[in-house]
Structure 1
Amino acid sequence: MTGVTIVIPTVGRTCLTNVLTDLAAQEPQPAAVYVVDDRSNPDRPLVCDHRVLHSGGRGPAAARNVGWRAADTEWIAFLDDDVRLPDGWISALYDDLRRAGDHVAGVQGGIEVPVSDRPTDWERSTAGLRSAKWATADMAYRRTALEQVGGFDERFPRAYREDAELALRIRQHGWGLVEGERHIVHPVRPEGFWISVRVQRGNADDALMRAIYGRHWRRLADCPPGRLKWHLATVVSAAVALLGSKRAAAGWALLTADFARRRIIPGPRTPGEVVRMLVTSAVLPFVAVWHRARGTWRHRGSVAWTDKVSAVLFDRDGTLVHDVPYNGDPDRVRPVPQAHEALHKLRQAGLAVGVITNQSGIGRGLVSAEEVAAVNKRLDELLGPFDTWQVCPHTEAEGCACRKPASGLVLAAANDLGIAPNQVVVIGDIGSDVDAAKAAGARSILVPNGATRADEVRAAGTVRPDLLSAVEHVLGTGGRR
C-alpha cells in the first residue's frame, strides 16, 4: 500500500481546526489531505495547511465525490469535520487497510460518542453513531470500488443516508465491507430547542431510499427501524379529530403522550428538557410526515445512482479555439492543437459533445449576435457537429443565471441532451468554467493556458496539461475518470 488520502468535507465550522490539529500530530502522515469547502457562498476563504477544494454547497455527498476524484491513491479515508482523532489513529488506519483482503472495498472505524450519565434526547440520537453501519464519520474506501459504483449519490443533500446508500450499492456490486480496529471520537454538537424537529428533513431522504430499493430498504442498508408509522398514525388521528371525532382526539393525545414519555424517561428530566420534549413531541410527527410526503413526490420514479459520463461540454475561447477577444470574424477561428483528435475520441466512444460559452461582447455592443452565430457556425464546420450550443450574451452586471460561473449554461445543455447534470464533464481553461460545473452538479477538468490564474489551478479538482489528456482522463485511457 503506497498511502492514503484523507478527505474532509466542511461548511467552515470552527471544529475543523480540531480534527486538522489532531491529524497533523499523527505519524506517519497521509499521502494527501483534501479539505472540501461545501459552502455555496463563502464569506471568507478557508485557511489551512492542506489543499482546499470546492463543491459549491451541494451537500456532503457531492463534497466527498469532489475529494476522492481529486485523489490518486488507491485508498481514500473520509472523516467528518467535527470528529477528534486519538493518538495512533493513522497507524491503526494503515493496519486496518493492510488486513483488508482484495475483495474488501471499505473499512469502517469505530465511533465513540461521549455522553452524560443520563443523556438528553439529542445526545442519545448522536450516540446512535456508535452502532451505525458504514458511517463516513470514519470510513475508508478503495478508489476502485468508488469508481465502479459512481461514488456517493449526490441526490442526498444532507449528512444522512448517503453513506448507508453507498455501502449498499457497493455490496450489491459484490464487494465486502468490514469493521476495523481504529476508532475516532465524535463529540455531541450543541443542541438547540428545535433540533429534533429540524432533523426530520431526513425523512425526505428515506423516501429516496425507498424509491430506489423498495419497502425493505432498511434491512438491505443495515438501517434501524424508524417511527414513521407511529407519526403517521398521530397525524391521521389529529386530522380526524379536527372533523369532530372525540375518539380520534383521544388517540392523538395518547400517541403524543406516549412519544413524549419515551423521550423523557431515559433523559435527565430537567425542567428545560421536559418542556422541550413535550413541545417537540407534539410538533415532530407532523413535520416528519410532511417531509416524507415531500420526498416521496420529489423522488418518485428514482432509480439507482449512476455517474457514467454521457456528455462533455467545452468552453469555446481558450479551450477549443485560440482566444480572440470579442471575435466576430469567422476567418479568425483557429482550433487549438489536438482539438480534432480529442473530439474524435469522444464521438467514437459514443459521448455527446457541446459548447458552453460566455459572449458578453453582445451585451457590451462590441459584437452582434449574428456575428457570434457566424463564428460558432465556423467552429461547427471545423470541429463539429456539436450536439448542443449554449451561449450567454449577457454582461456580468446583468446578473443573469446563465453566465458562467453560474450554472445556467451547463443545466441548459444537460436538459437539451436529455441527461442529468452529474453525467456531464465540463472542460475549460479558467475558474468560471470549473465553478459553473460545480454549481450545476457536473464534473470539471481545467486545462490551463496563459490566461489561467495560479489560484484557479489550485482550486480546481482535476487539472490536465492539454485538451487530449483531459479527454483521455474522461475516457479512462490516460487516467482514472
Structure 2
Amino acid sequence: MIIPVNISVVVPTYKRPALLKKCLDALREQTYWRTFYEVIVVADGPDPETEAVVNRFLHEKPDCAVSFHHLPAKKGPAAARNYGWEQSSGELIVFTDDDCIPDPCWLEAFAARYQALARGLVAFTGKVVVPISERPTDYEKNVAHLATAAFITANCACSRAALKMTGGFDEEFPIAWREDSDLEFKLLEGNIPIIHVPEAAICHPVREAGWGVSLAEQRKSMFNALLFKKHPLFYRSKIAAGPVWTYYIIILASIAVVFGLIANMPLITASALAVWAIAIASFIVKRLKGTSDSLSHRMEMIFTSLIIPYISVYWTLRGALRYKVFFL
C-alpha cells in the first residue's frame, strides 16, 4: 500500500483578501486527502484584513488545515515563502500565489509524481494557464509569458530536502521578480532535477493594471543584476543572451542630439535624431504588434515607449552599482 505523502502548501500574500479567498476555496476542493495536506498563508507584514478572511474561512470550513502567519515587517514574497516552508510539516512543499486558482487535481498530480520517483531530492513545476483575449494589452501579453516560463513560484513544488540543500529563497530579492529563477538555478547547480508535471495546473488570471503600468515595472530591472551576479551563465542562457541594445542606442542617440545642438553641429544633430526616431519607432511597433487596438492602449504604448528605455537603463545600472557587477 502506498502511504500518501504529507504536503504543505505555502501561499504568500499581502493585502489582497478577495483574491486569497478564491485561492483558498480552490485549495479546499482538492481531490487529495485533506488529512494529508496543510495550507500555510503568510502575509508579507501585518495584515488584519487578510487574517480576518482566513479566520472566517476556517470558521465556515473547519475541515481544512489552514493557518495564518505574518512577517513582522514587509520583506517581500521570498521571505514570506521561506517563513512558510520553515513553519511547515510536509515532506513535499508546494507553492502558489494568492491570485492563482489551482485545479482540483493539482496536489494529487504533484503527489503522484513525487511518489513515483521514490521521493528524495527533487523539484517540480506545473502548468500555468493565463486567460487573455485575442487582442491583449501589452501588460496582459507580458503576464501571459508565465504560461511558458520554465519555473515560477505560482506553480511549483520542492521536496523539503531540496529546499534545505539550496537554502530556499534568497531574501535579497525583495519583490516578486527573479526570486523564482534564483531558486531554479540553485536547484540546477545542485543537480536536483526539476520535473514538469502538466497535470498539476493552475489558472493565473491577469489582474487589472493602471494606465502606464509598464513604467513602474521597469524597477524590476535592478534585480536582473543580482540574478546575473549570482548565476551569470544561467542568466545568459535562460533569461537574456545580452543587453537590450535598442535602449542603449536610443540613449546614445539622445546624448548625440544634445551634443550636436550645443556644439552647433547640425549634421550630427540630424543624424542622431534620425537614429533615435528609427529606434523609437521600431520599439513602438514591436510593442503594438498583436495587442489591443483601442485608442487608449495605443496612446499608452506610444507615451511609455518614449520613456521606458531611459528608466530601464537607469534601474539596470543602479542594480549593477548596488550589487557591484558589470551588467548592462
Same fold (TM over 0.5): yes
Q: 2:24 matched to which residue of 1? A: 20
How far 1:117 moved relative to its partner? Answer: 0.9
Q: 2:63 matched to which residue of 1? A: none
Is 1:99 matched with 2:116? Answer: yes
Is 1:34 matched with 2:40? Answer: yes
Q: Which residue of the other structure, out of 28, 35, 52, is the alignment partner of 2:68?
A: 52
Identity %: 30
Distance 1:229 1:53 in 2: 44
Q: Which residue of the other structure, out of 129, 133, 143, is the alignment partner of 1:112?
A: 129
Q: 2:176 matched to which residue of 1? A: 159
TM-score normalised to structure 2 length = 0.86
How far 1:223 moved relative to its partner? Answer: 2.5
Is 1:183 matched with 2:188? Answer: no
Q: Which has the higher contact order (CA 8 A, sep 6+)?
A: 2
Q: Which residue of the other structure, out of 253, 276, 282, is the alignment partner of 1:258?
A: 282
Higher Cα Rg, which structure: 1
- 1:179-328 equivalences under 5 Å are 179-180=196-197, 181-214=199-232, 216-220=233-237, 222-223=238-239, 228-244=244-260, 245-300=269-324
Higher mean C-alpha deviation, range 293-302 or range 137-146: 293-302
Cα-Cα RMSD: 1.9
Is 1:71 matched with 2:105? Answer: no
Distance 1:68 1:251 in 2: 51
Contact 1:62 / 1:152 at 8 angstroms: preserved in 2? yes
The 1:93–1:217 alpha-carbon spacing in structure 2 relative to 1, beyond 3 Å, is closer
Q: 1:407 matched to which residue of 2? A: none
**2:213 partner amino acid:** I
Distance 1:20 1:217 in 2: 35
The 1:212–1:113 alpha-carbon spacing in structure 2 relative to 1, beyond 3 Å, is same
Contact 1:103 / 1:175 at 8 angstroms: preserved in 2? no
Is 1:11 matched with 2:28? Answer: no
Structure 1 counterpart SS, 2:51 = coil
How far 1:98 moved relative to its partner? Answer: 2.1
How far 1:225 moved relative to its partner? Answer: 5.0
Q: Which residue of the other structure, out of 102, 105, 122, is the alignment partner of 1:88?
A: 105
Q: 2:61 matched to which residue of 1? A: none
**1:11 partner amino acid:** Y
Distance 2:240 2:203 in 1: 22
In structure 2, stretches of 5+ residues that fail to align are 59-65, 261-268
Contact 2:103 / 2:200 at 8 angstroms: preserved in 1? no
Structure 1 counterpart SS, 2:79 = helix
Report Cα offsets for 1:355-398 as digits up to 9, x if no partner: xxxxxxxxxxxxxxxxxxxxxxxxxxxxxxxxxxxxxxxxxxxx
How far 1:226 moved relative to its partner? Answer: 7.1
Contact 1:96 / 1:182 at 8 angstroms: preserved in 2? no
Report Cα offsets for 1:143-195 as digits up to 9, x if no partner: 11111121101111111110011111111112111101211110011021121
Structure 1 counterpart SS, 2:144 = helix
Distance 1:225 1:192 in 2: 31
Contact 2:185 / 2:231 at 8 angstroms: preserved in 1? no
Contact 1:103 / 1:176 at 8 angstroms: preserved in 2? no
Task: Name the structure with the higher helix share.
Answer: 2
**1:31 partner amino acid:** Y
